[in-house]
């Protein structure tokens, strides 16, 4: 198993109960979690990954899990993510 390097790019999710309430990216996940503006979570998970897939990974999790503390576009139903769903799955026209 690969050991986590503190300055490595990561994808993270904040969890409350059995629900992912927020997803995002960070460089130093432990510093980011301790200083995060969202405090209403019980646990977190992270995936060290290559920077080239961070936007895609974050966008997929946002569109699929619809975490309530990630934003929505214009207060509507569309989730605010780095990529729209079609681009995230590689199906844009």
4 assigned to some structural domain: no
Mean pLDDT of 69-91: 82
Which residue segment(s) compose the domain that 57 sits in? Answer: 10-88
Q: Is 72 part of any domain? A: yes
- Over the stretch 17-36, which tens digit does the pLDDT of each residue have? 999 999 988 888 888 888 77
Token code pair at residue 38: 């969202």
Q: Is residue 36 part of a domain?
A: yes
- Count helices and strands (H / E) in the chain: 3, 3
Nearest residue to 33 via CA among 18, 11, 51, 50: 11
Q: Residue 50 falls within a domain, yes or no?
A: yes
Would you say residue 4 has pLDDT above 60? no
Domain harbouring 61, CATH code: 3.40.1440
**pTM, entire model:** 0.79
**Based on the structure, what is the number of domains in the chain?**
1
- pLDDT at 39 (0 to 100): 77
Distance, in Å, from the CA atom of 67 to the CA atom of 22, rounded to the nearest integer, reads 5
Query: Among all chains, which residue has been given the structure tokens 């309530």?
Result: 68
Structural domain includes residue 33:
yes
Average pLDDT for the chain: 83
The pLDDT of residue 19: 93
């Amino acid at each position: 198993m690969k050991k986590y390097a503190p300055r490595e790019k990561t994808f993270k999710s904040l969890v409350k109960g059995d629900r992912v309430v927020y997803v995002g990216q960070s460089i130093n996940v432990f510093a980011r979690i301790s200083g995060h503006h969202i405090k209403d979570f019980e646990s977190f998970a992270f995936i060290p990954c290559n920077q080239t897939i961070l936007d895609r990974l974050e966008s997929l999790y946002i569109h699929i899990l619809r975490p309530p503390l990630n934003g929505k576009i214009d207060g509507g139903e569309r989730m605010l993510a780095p990529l729209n769903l079609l681009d995230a799955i590689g199906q844009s026209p």
